[in-house]
Amino acid sequence: MKTLLTGGAGYIGSHTAVAMLDAGHDVAVADNYYNSSPEAIRRVEEITGRKVSLYEADVADRSRMMEILRAEMPDCIIHFAGLKAVGESVAMPVEYYRNNIDTTLTLLECMKELGLTNIVFSSSATVYGEDNIPPFTENMPKGVCTNPYGWTKWMQEQILRDAWFAGAGSEKELSVVLLRYFNPVGAHESGLIGEDPQGIPNNLMPYISQVAVGRRDHLTVFGDDYDTPDGTCRRDYIHVMDLAEGHVRAAEYSLGNRGTEVFNLGTGNPYSVLDMVNAFGKACGHPVKYEIGPRRAGDVQDSWANADKAKEVLGWEAKRGIDEICRDAWKWQSGNPQGYGE
Ligand code: NAD
Ligand code: UD1
């Protein structure tokens, strides 16, 4: 299968490129390097011993995307490109709506013009909102999002579903696969690629990794007064290579099917903030220093997946646990203390 990964030089895209190439598929990448570096793709080629067709492109640029898609004519597009920082989206909502929605609309227009039918989309568990009770199942109603980033995912899901509906039953009916990620963490086991956040990390695992490697003094745990066994929030942390393999199965599934399908990509197992701090301490060989701070605005207490549908329909389930997550995150962080910047 020929795949085009928009945003493929980013964290999840680069790991998915490895999994796709390892599964014998061809990979092209279109990325504007807003939050990534072509070095990630060079390392994907080093890991797999295979070539990637790499295009520097803004996915919202229609004529550029027409040129790339015409050259590649992929069997499936996996749409990762987007802005993803929750706090930044509150400060820059217009940029978030513009970039995330425009890239999706542009792809749909190009697909229609070229007769391409298959798209897999990076959505998020954030669309379940604050009121659903975990474990989240795909048929729960979507919730109210707490920030513009979340709303862009919510809206992109709707746009893709509407685009499919318009052509349902026709020869050009789309195959839309919406993947709702839980908390992607960890790195490829080689330690050659991993998450490389710019500036101060917003997310837990990159923050813990940077404390462990000495780049930051301590982690602040956002609240220990939740109604959970140790008082800290619980999440469904999924190894990024499990997530990547989920994309391979989703893209393969899309080839034989038409319609819109939603899948949770999670493990189904919740872990608390302190569980992750302790597991990381074991992996890196010394305790990770932390202090308890106030709750973070917008945090939900609990979020985890019911992952049964992906297992039943895609034949996929997460295989790696938190010890592998921390081992691989540490290998990446300790081997590349400044990320790709070195
Ligand atoms: P990332 O920032 O590492 O990757 C996104 C990539 O898209 C980057 O390489 C960036 O340069 C590129 N990009 C952004 N706008 C672009 C544009 N207009 N044209 C071309 N390239 C563009 O983020 P990630 O963690 O790999 O996330 C990938 C996707 O998964 C995103 O859509 C994100 O919202 C979604 N997602 C991520 C998480 C997570 O925790 N990482 C969770 C749920 C969903
Ligand atoms: C956050 C986003 C979510 C997005 C996801 C991407 C919010 C409210 N939600 O999810 O929309 O899809 O990132 O990965 O921002 N924590 C600390 N200290 C820290 C950082 C985090 O205690 O320095 C805690 C948080 O309170 C949370 C857990 O660690 O309980 C995980 O946080 P994080 O990695 O930011 O992910 P989410 O909040 O689940």
The verdict on the CB of residue 126 being under 6 Å from ligand 2 is: yes
The DSSP-derived string for 227-281 is SSTTSS-EE-EEEHHHHHHHHHHHHHHHHT--EEEEEEES-S--EEHHHHHHHHH
Give the closest residue (by CA) to ligand 2 atom 18. Answer: 221
Q: How confident is the model at residue 341 (pLDDT cuts 50, 70, 90)?
A: confident
The verdict on the CB of residue 203 being under 6 Å from ligand 2 is: yes
0.75 surpassed by pTM: yes
Residue 181 has pLDDT above 80, yes or no: yes
Provide mean pLDDT across the span 208-213. 96
Work out which ligand 1 atom sits closest to the CA atom of 102: 18
CA distances to 18, 138, 303 from 279, rounded to whole Å, are 26, 30, 19
Catalytic residues: 149
Q: How far is CA 219 from the centre of its chain?
A: 23
Indicate the residue type of 265. Answer: L
CA of 185 to the centre of ligand 2 (A): 11
* pLDDT on residue 342: 58
pLDDT digits (tens, 9 = 90+) for 322-339: 999 999 999 999 999 999
Whole-number Å distance between alpha carbons of 184 and 309: 19
